[in-house]
Structure 1
C-alpha cells in the first residue's frame, strides 16, 4: 500500500522508504524549458504511469518512477530530457550515450529533445528496467 509523506506529500512504496523530502511541482521543473520538452515528458508519462504499482514523484532536479525501487528517472535540462533506466546487460547502441555498471546491473542514459525521437525500443528498455527492479 503506498504511503504519502506528510512533509512533502510524495507518494512512496512504504513509510520507511528513504527519499529527498521537498515539495516540488512539475511546473517548477519545466519552468523556462522549451514547450517540446513538456510534450515529450507527457508522452513518456502517459506510457509509464499506467503500469501496475508505479509511483511518480518529483525532486528538485528530476521526476522519479518507482516500482519497488526507482526504475526510471527523467531530468529536465535546458534543451533536452535526460532519461535514466537500468538493464541487466550493457547497452552500447544509440541513442544510449552512457551505460555504466552499478550494483550488479547497468545504468543507461539517453538524451532526447523532441517527440520524434521516441521509439518503441526505448519503451521496451524502460519496461525492462521496470521488470528488472
Structure 2
C-alpha cells in the first residue's frame, strides 16, 4: 500500500517517507527536449508501468520507478536520457556508460537518444533491477 504526499503529490511506499518534496511535472522535465527523446521515454514508460506494483513519480530532475525500493531512474538530459538501474554484478558492454559499486550492488547507467537504441537486452536489464529490488 502506498502513501501520497499531500504537498508534492508524490506517491511513496511509506507514510511520511523522507523524500525530495517538490512538485514537478513531466512537461517541466521534458521542456526543450526533442520529440524523439520524448518518444523514447514514452516507450520505456509504457513497458515498465505495466509491471506489478510499480510506483512512478517525478523528482527535481528525474522520473523515479519504485517496486520495493527504487529500481530505475530516468534523468532527461539535453540530448539523451540517462537510465540508472541496479544489478548484482558489474555490467560491461558497449551500451553501459558507467557501472559502479554501491553497497552490495552495482549502479549502472545507460545513455540513449533514439528509439533504435531500445532493445530487449536493455529492458531485460531494467527488469532484472526490478526483481533485485
TM-score interval, smaller chain: over 0.9
| Bigger Cα displacement from structure 2, 16-25 vs 51-60 | 16-25
Partner secondary structure for residue 131 of structure 1: helix
RMSD: 0.7
Residue 112 of structure 2 is matched in structure 1 by 112
Partners of 2:16 and 2:86 in 1: how far apart?
23
Partners of 2:92 and 2:71 in 1: how far apart?
19
**Superposed displacement of residue 18, structure 1:** 1.9
Q: Deviations over 1:20-45 (max 9, x none)?
A: 10000000000001111110000000
Q: Within 5 Å, which residues of 2 pair with 1:52-71?
A: 52-71=52-71
**Superposed displacement of residue 50, structure 1:** 1.1
Residue 12 of structure 1 is matched in structure 2 by 12
Q: Deviations over 1:48-96 (max 9, x none)?
A: 0111110001011000000111000000000000000000011011200
Normalising by structure 1, we get a TM-score of 0.98
Task: Provide structure 2 residue ranges, at least 5 long, that are not aligned to the other structure.
Answer: none
**Superposed displacement of residue 13, structure 1:** 1.0
Deviating beyond 3 angstroms after TM superposition, the runs of 4 or more aligned structure 1 residues are none
Normalising by structure 2, we get a TM-score of 0.98
**Superposed displacement of residue 19, structure 1:** 1.1
Q: Are 1:49 and 2:19 counterparts?
A: no
Partners of 2:64 and 2:131 in 1: how far apart?
16
Residue 34 of structure 1 is matched in structure 2 by 34
